Chain A
Amino acid sequence: MSVDTKWTYDENYVREYSQNRGEPEWLTEQRIAAIRLAGELNLPKPEKTNIKTWNFTEFKHDPGEVSAIDSVDELHEDVQKLIDRSTEEQNLIVFRDGKPIYRTGSDHLQEQGVLFLDIETAARDYSDLLKKYFMGSAVDVDEHQLTALHVALLNGGTFIYVPKNVTVEAPLQTIYWQDNPEVGLFNHVIIAAEDNSEVTYLENYASFDREQSAAANIVSEVYVGQNAKVSYGGVDHFEKGVTTYVNRRGRVERDGYLEWALGQMNEGNTVSDNTTVLQGDGSHADTKAVSIGRGDQSQNFWTNIIHYGKNSTGHILTHGVMKDHASSIFNGVTQIKHGGTKADGQQTERVLMLSERARGDANPILLIDEDDVTAGHAASVGRVDPMQMFYMMSRGISRTEAERLIIHGFLAPVVNELPIQSVKERLTEVIERKVY
């Protein structure tokens, strides 16, 4: 027990912070309980990655006054690139250091009864609804020190609520921009999609300072109702100094469908947990995640689908490119619980090594407690296939260009899934810059 840890932010701080934001009492209470827990709990222990010395606790929590902007032109130029300015039908919130500073949204959303709000506003104006989902069945405050810290220090995020039978046509887009390099982001995203609803969400995390040390502690909860469909796209690109804990969880009811497309492009040390619970019969999850490791960064990716429902299907695809001295562990876990008859769980983990000094482990894990199921996995760690290179070069393509095409192709499963063209292009640019 690390009871003697000295916290920069204590119970009094948390209480005052919550009250200043005008939060409902239940949230203040949860924060206070959480800061106590954080003092008692240990860090998570991701397999094969030692995170004990990582910085999860040194950062500035409150950025102070963050002013709103009137025009996209006032944003960092790389943030501007994420915004598709060619269309009117745009649902977008841009956050700077946790605070919403710019938003556009169609009136149509309001007419449909859809909520697309920053979490601070949601806590004030839709307290009961938020309470119903916040730290709900997808994630527990007392899992470990980082989940507890997350609740205690929550300072940004988004709440999305889609009522029954509503289809949201245009994607909902958020950009979480860490502008002040000292600020720690404790970002929380909730998507609650009621029965028969449909929504597509796309988020970007970005920072640009390479020197300053800070932490990001992110939790997403996605609740997919019966026969509902949620597409969740995420691109993480924090700079070197930011240590990231990111936990994206989903829970899918009967015949619901949750699809993840994650481009995990952080430059700093990262622990990622992406877990989907297929609760209902006939529920379906499709998880695709790609990443690039470079420099001396260390990353641990945990991708998990847990089947309870009969006839549930879960597919995992993880592709990682490793260069320099980077080290990444990719754990793919398919769990089929007793009673999940006719469930189908498939996973593929592939790691492409561009350097002999890099380390990449692909660990496919199948935990099956039911007989009548189908499950399979494929895993590989290797260098660029010399036969592929020979083939491409025999058409005149240079070695560098051939390798470039192969790498972009390797990461395409996620890039192609992203619903907004500008984000796709920006991700391609980031990949380009990271690999060369």
Chain B
Amino acid sequence: MAGSTLKIQNLHVEIDGSEIINGLDLEINGGEIHAIMGPNGTGKSTLASAIMGHPRYDITEGSVHLDGKDVLEMEVDERAHAGMFLAMQYPSEISGVTNSDFMRSAINSSREEGDEISLMKFIKKMDGKMDELEIDQSFSQRYLNEGFSGGEKKRNEILQLLMLEPRIAILDEIDSGLDIDALKVVSKGINSMKSPDFGCLIITHYQRLLNYITPDKVHVMMQGRVVKSGGAELAQRLEEEGYDWIKEELGIEDEKVGEQA
């Protein structure tokens, strides 16, 4: 099976009337790992959330297609069923719902009635993935993200990624707040997903995550759009020289957008 393609064209996104993304183009294919880098306040996280259908964001122009299907016409759960996944920067805490019950509902949501994953199979898979991410077994019976440390929440997002096996994943600052050991574990998890069927968009401030996950393409976002693209070497140069040279090159004075400007 060939991988999926997520195609974003001329995307414009507003929040409470102010434009955060203005005219962004991006194409992610199965087998590719893309990284979006950029200073704070340039619209990176907005892009991630808007593609997944965050209720606060209004898409005013442009299109998002997954294998030719109009993503913007889909409900949030339908986007997931189509193969999309968003690892969130600030995952919600949900009291009274265990990680395990949540994961099982999520897996079964994309299966037909009567074809639900068996409890044994589910437990085996979850235990296996938790081992991979060095997560304690007690984790599955804790309430979803409730009282989790920042690092635990990030691991949980990656656990969900490994359990749900999406075709296109967007990872929004999955590295922030992680110490180096946790970063290695999380990267290992993401790398284990690598295949021609899996496309990934990593949003990050820091080059250090890219020491462990080699991107095929690196994009720099400023003023709500992609201003420069390149290969892994671009990330390397950003690490060494910062963003000023790009601003100079493109004649940009203030890289921020919208209400954060």
A binds B: yes
Neighbouring B residues of A393 by C-beta, 8 Å: 53, 75-77, 80
Neighbouring A residues of B55 by C-beta, 8 Å: 386-387, 389-390
A407 and chain B: residue at smallest CB distance: B96
In the assembled complex, the Cα of A393 lies from the Cα of B54 at a distance in Å of 10
B195 CB to closest chain A CB, in angstroms?
20
Q: Contact between A409 and B75 (Cβ–Cβ < 8 Å)? A: no
Neighbouring A residues of B97 by C-beta, 8 Å: 405-406, 408-409, 412
| Interface residue stretch chosen among B36-44, B103-111, B131-139, B184-192 | B103-111
B160 CB to closest chain A CB, in angstroms?
6
Q: Contact between B80 and A394 (Cβ–Cβ < 8 Å)? A: yes
A435 CB to closest chain B CB, in angstroms?
14
A411 interface contact, C-beta 8 A:
yes
| Interface residue stretch chosen among A22-30, A85-93, A339-347, A395-403 | A395-403
B129 CB to closest chain A CB, in angstroms?
15
In the assembled complex, the Cα of A412 lies from the Cα of B95 at a distance in Å of 8
In the assembled complex, the Cα of A406 lies from the Cα of B105 at a distance in Å of 12
| Interface residue stretch chosen among B86-94, B203-211, B252-260 | B86-94
Task: Tell whether A399 pairs with B77 under 8 Å between CB atoms, given A390-B55, A394-B53, A405-B105.
Answer: yes
In the assembled complex, the Cα of A200 lies from the Cα of B106 at a distance in Å of 37
Q: Contact between B95 and A396 (Cβ–Cβ < 8 Å)? A: no
In the assembled complex, the Cα of A399 lies from the Cα of B88 at a distance in Å of 19
Neighbouring B residues of A397 by C-beta, 8 Å: 77, 102, 105-106, 109
Q: Contact between B92 and A398 (Cβ–Cβ < 8 Å)? A: no
Neighbouring A residues of B164 by C-beta, 8 Å: 395-396
Contact of B96 among A385, A389, A401, A413 (CB under 8 A): A413
Interface residues of A in 384-436 (CB under 8 A from B): 385-399, 401-402, 405-406, 408-413, 416
B54 CB to closest chain A CB, in angstroms?
6
Contact of A399 among B75, B86, B102 (CB under 8 A): B75
Task: Tell whether A409 pairs with B95 under 8 Å between CB atoms, given A393-B75, A395-B164, A397-B105.
Answer: yes
Neighbouring A residues of B81 by C-beta, 8 Å: 396
Contact of A410 among B80, B95, B106 (CB under 8 A): B95
Task: Tell whether A410 pairs with B96 under 8 Å between CB atoms, given A395-B160, A397-B77.
Answer: yes
B181 CB to closest chain A CB, in angstroms?
27
Q: Contact between A390 and B105 (Cβ–Cβ < 8 Å)? A: no
Binding site for A on B (CB under 8 A): 52-55, 75-77, 79-81, 85-86, 88, 91-92, 94-97, 101-102, 105-106, 109-110, 143, 160, 164
Binding site for B on A (CB under 8 A): 385-399, 401-402, 405-406, 408-413, 416
Q: Which 4 pairs from chain A and chain B are nearest by CB? A: A409-B96, A412-B96, A396-B80, A393-B76
Beyond A397-B102, A402-B77: 9 further Cβ-contacts under 8 Å? A388-B92, A393-B76, A394-B86, A395-B85, A395-B102, A405-B97, A410-B95, A412-B96, A412-B97
